[in-house]
């Protein structure tokens, strides 16, 4: 993309309403615009990152064998009357009447609807296991939205639902989700720690939340420092293997890690003192096993091998997709702006032309731009007729991980600069070498894409 043709309304000054860094930077970088309390338009740059994150979620879900579909944002109230949650959910549920005075609601989650879909079409245990998911906008009428997209009323969430014949099979689905979530967050450059959680209105005995450590997190967290040494890495996991998934779950959940909701001082005290940590965290996902809570209430049953009809075992699993933008920025920024991890960056590299209108720099930039695109990379070329300082400031603010700087002086010796946004390290090299370097840097990121199974 050429910046002169893009729509990137960056702000020089801090918007007064933004109190936390991710909100401020998203507004300043022209990623979002607030339309009402907790409701945002996603401007091109923000939309691009949102889509990248959503894409990673899709890829990792499908890698784990989960099936995408799409349910509507508006749901009929009757489904929720069946489960009993129409009355239980309270004012957080946005209720709407259509022209025929029928009760509708803007879905805050989809257990009821997915259970309805399941019961309409599945009758035999032979169709299990099955995990369906979607990425769709949700609405929860928070009393007090804040922190930008971290705590919006409208938010994009991936929610998935597993259907299994037995509790053991459902717990494997639980473990499988935990594994796939670890992998998902790591691809986004985040360390998200699974922590024992509370069931909340979804219900369920087995549940973990995934927390990203950040000073601005809304939850206080307590953990054994050993847990932050764990990384998923590039290990290959067979998602159908009960043993392998179980082993990962044990590895990542055996050490003490809890939020203030479930914190137990007595158990925490057993962790060696030098490893006890207290911090703050942002919740970016949660997984639940809740058994037959919804299947019994809504008659979602299958005929088992013995000919008897039994309610299916279920769980649900969510990733706050739009919230993740905030969480990633909270964990990756400096005083100049955002620092995107390579896995989610809106553009792979920024090209800064120091002397727009100069034949040598213009043609060098054009060539670099075209070559990067030809190699499957997505560059942002700042071709505005602006001063160098302004271009650098914009690039730093929007946080592209790499920058190629092209000026007449270096170009005379066939050199450009390649700068790393995070470290600030700059190297001089030929345009050809810079392109090759970037191709190498992004090979793992681009190579991770998977096709539908």
Partner RNA sequence: CGGAGCGUAGCGCAGCCUGGUAGCGCACCUGCUUCGGGAGCAGGGGGUCGGAGGUUCGAAUCCUCUCGCUCCGACCA
Q: Give residue 111's Cα distance to chain centre.
A: 21
Q: In this complex, which beta carbon is closest to RNA, that of residue 64 or of residue 411?
A: 411
Cβ 425 to RNA shortest distance, Å: 11
Cβ 305 to RNA shortest distance, Å: 36
Interface residues with RNA (CB under 7 A)?
A: 10-17, 19, 28, 34, 36-38, 92, 140, 142-147, 149-153, 155, 157, 200-202, 209, 218-219, 283-286, 318-320, 322-323, 336, 354-355, 387-390, 392-394, 396-397, 405, 407, 409-410, 417, 419, 426
CB-based contacts of 415, cutoff 8 Å, min separation 6:
428, 429, 430
For the chain, the C-alpha Rg in angstroms (whole number) is 24
Determine the Cα–Cα distance for residues 442 and 340; give it in Å rounded to an integer.
13
Cβ 18 to RNA shortest distance, Å: 7
| β-strands 349-353, 402-406 pairing | parallel
| β-strands 130-139, 206-213 pairing | unpaired
Determine the Cα–Cα distance for residues 209 and 282; give it in Å rounded to an integer.
10
Determine the Cα–Cα distance for residues 398 and 345; give it in Å rounded to an integer.
9
Determine the Cα–Cα distance for residues 31 and 28; give it in Å rounded to an integer.
8
Q: In this complex, which beta carbon is closest to RNA, that of residue 8 or of residue 438?
A: 8
Mutual angle of helices 44-63 and 167-187, in 10-degree steps: 140
Give yes or no for a contact between 356 and 362, defined as CB atoms under 8 angstroms apart: yes
Q: In this complex, which beta carbon is closest to RNA, that of residue 202 or of residue 271?
A: 202
Q: In this complex, which beta carbon is closest to RNA, that of residue 310 or of residue 393?
A: 393
Q: In this complex, which beta carbon is closest to RNA, that of residue 204 or of residue 311?
A: 204
Determine the Cα–Cα distance for residues 369 and 332; give it in Å rounded to an integer.
26
Cβ 411 to RNA shortest distance, Å: 8
Give yes or no for a contact between 301 and 295, defined as CB atoms under 8 angstroms apart: yes
414: left (phi over 0), alpha (psi -120 to 50) or beta: left
Cβ 39 to RNA shortest distance, Å: 7
Nearest CA-CA partner of 57 in 252, 210, 254 = 210
Using the structure block, give the residue that is written with the tokens 């002169």.
4
Cβ 275 to RNA shortest distance, Å: 26
Q: In this complex, which beta carbon is closest to RNA, that of residue 212 or of residue 302?
A: 212
Q: In this complex, which beta carbon is closest to RNA, that of residue 162 or of residue 286?
A: 286
Cβ 417 to RNA shortest distance, Å: 5
CB-based contacts of 13, cutoff 8 Å, min separation 6:
none
Cβ 302 to RNA shortest distance, Å: 28
Q: In this complex, which beta carbon is closest to RNA, that of residue 300 or of residue 354?
A: 354
């Amino acid at each position: 993309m050429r910046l002169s043709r893009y729509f990137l309304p960056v702000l020089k000054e801090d918007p007064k309403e933004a109190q936390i860094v991710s909100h401020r930077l998203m507004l300043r970088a022209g990623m979002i615009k607030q339309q009402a309390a907790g409701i945002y338009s996603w401007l091109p740059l923000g939309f691009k990152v949102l889509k990248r994150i959503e894409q990673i979620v899709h890829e990792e879900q499908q890698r784990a064998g989960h099936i995408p579909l799409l349910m509507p944002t508006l749901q009929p109230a009757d489904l929720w009357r069946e489960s009993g949650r129409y009355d239980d959910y309270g004012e957080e549920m946005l209720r709407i009447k259509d022209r025929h005075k029928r009760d509708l609601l803007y879905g805050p989650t989809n257990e009821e609807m997915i259970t309805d879909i399941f019961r309409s079409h599945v009758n035999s245990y032979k169709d299990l296991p099955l995990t369906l998911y979607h990425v769709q906008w949700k609405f929860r009428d928070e009393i007090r939205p804040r922190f930008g997209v971290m705590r919006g009323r409208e938010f994009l969430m991936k929610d998935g639902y597993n259907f299994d014949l037995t509790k053991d099979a459902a717990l494997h689905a639980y473990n499988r989700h935990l594994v796939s979530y670890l992998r998902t967050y790591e691809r986004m450059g985040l360390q998200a720690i699974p922590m024992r959680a509370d069931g909340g209105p979804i219900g369920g005995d087995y549940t973990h939340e995934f927390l990203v450590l950040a000073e601005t997190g809304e939850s206080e967290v307590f953990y054994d420092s050993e847990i932050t040494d764990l990384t998923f890495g590039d290990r290959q996991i067979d998602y159908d293997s009960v043993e392998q998934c179980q082993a990962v779950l044990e590895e990542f959940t055996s050490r003490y890690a809890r939020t203030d909701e479930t914190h137990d001082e007595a158990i925490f005290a057993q962790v060696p003192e030098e490893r006890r940590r207290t911090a703050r965290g942002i919740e970016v996902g949660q997984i639940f096993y809740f058994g037959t809570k919804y299947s019994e209430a809504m008659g979602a049953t299958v005929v088992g091998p013995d000919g008897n009809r039994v309610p299916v075992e279920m769980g649900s699993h969510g990733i706050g997709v739009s919230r993740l933008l905030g969480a990633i920025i909270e964990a990756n920024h400096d005083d100049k702006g955002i620092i995107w991890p390579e896995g989610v960056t809106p553009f792979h590299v920024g090209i800064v032309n120091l002397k727009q209108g100069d034949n040598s720099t213009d043609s060098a930039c054009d060539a670099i731009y075209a070559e990067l695109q030809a190699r499957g990379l997505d560059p942002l070329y700042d071709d505005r007729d602006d001063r160098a300082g302004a271009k650098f400031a914009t690039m730093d603010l929007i946080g592209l991980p790499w920058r190629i700087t092209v000026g007449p002086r270096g170009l005379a010796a066939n050199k450009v600069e390649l700068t790393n946004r995070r470290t600030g390290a700059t190297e001089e090299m030929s345009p050809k070498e810079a392109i090759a370097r970037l191709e190498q840097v992004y090979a793992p990121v681009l190579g991770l894409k998977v096709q539908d199974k």
